[in-house]
């Protein structure tokens, strides 16, 4: 079945540091890939997505590129802020989509001032 593997953290960085959260996947066919973010006490919000190979999703300074050859979708940001502290989930949807999103285990990101 489909699966998503991401670094679990917690990841602790200083403000303005460079961020990379690794995500790799296993899926049948050509999945769509997503990053969701969950702030404390809240639901999940879509951060960015990519639906085909070599697509780059971007939002709020975050970027991720769909790499089919390495089955990866790593999340990056050049300069993190304290307000970026949250749990980040890599996810995919494949096939007919009726099975819903398959999530990684989430990465807890802590940004210190």
Partner 1 sequence: DTAVSQTPKYLVTQMGNDKSIKCEQNLGHDTMYWYKQDSKKFLKIMFSYNNKELIINETVPNRFSPKSPDKAHLNLHINSLELGDSAVYFCASSQDAINSEAFFGQGTRLTVV
101 binds partner 1 (CB under 8 A): yes
40 binds partner 1 (CB under 8 A): no
Applying CB under 8 A, which of residues 90, 106, 109, 111 lies at the interface with partner 1? 106
The number of angstroms, rounded, from the C-alpha of 57 to the middle of its chain's C-alpha atoms is 10
26 binds partner 1 (CB under 8 A): no
Length in residues, the chain: 113
CA distance 47 to 82: 17
**What tokens does 45 get?**
């919000």
CA distance 97 to 86: 27
72 binds partner 1 (CB under 8 A): no
Residue 37: closest CA among 28, 27, 49, 46: 46
Applying CB under 8 A, which of residues 22, 32, 58, 65 lies at the interface with partner 1? 32
Applying CB under 8 A, which of residues 12, 14, 51, 112 lies at the interface with partner 1? 51
54 binds partner 1 (CB under 8 A): no
CB of 106 to partner 1, least distance (A): 5
């Amino acid at each position: 079945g489909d699966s998503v593997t991401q670094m679990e953290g917690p990841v602790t960085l200083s403000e303005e540091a460079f961020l990379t959260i690794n995500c790799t996947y296993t899926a049948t066919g050509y999945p769509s890939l997503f990053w969701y973010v969950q702030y404390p006490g809240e639901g999940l919000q879509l951060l960015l997505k990519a639906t085909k190979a070599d697509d780059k999703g971007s939002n709020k300074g975050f970027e991720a590129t769909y790499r089919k050859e390495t089955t990866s979708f790593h999340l990056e940001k050049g300069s993190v802020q304290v307000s970026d502290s949250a749990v980040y989930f890599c996810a995919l949807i494949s096939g007919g989509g009726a099975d819903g999103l398959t999530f990684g285990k989430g990465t807890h990101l802590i940004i210190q001032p």
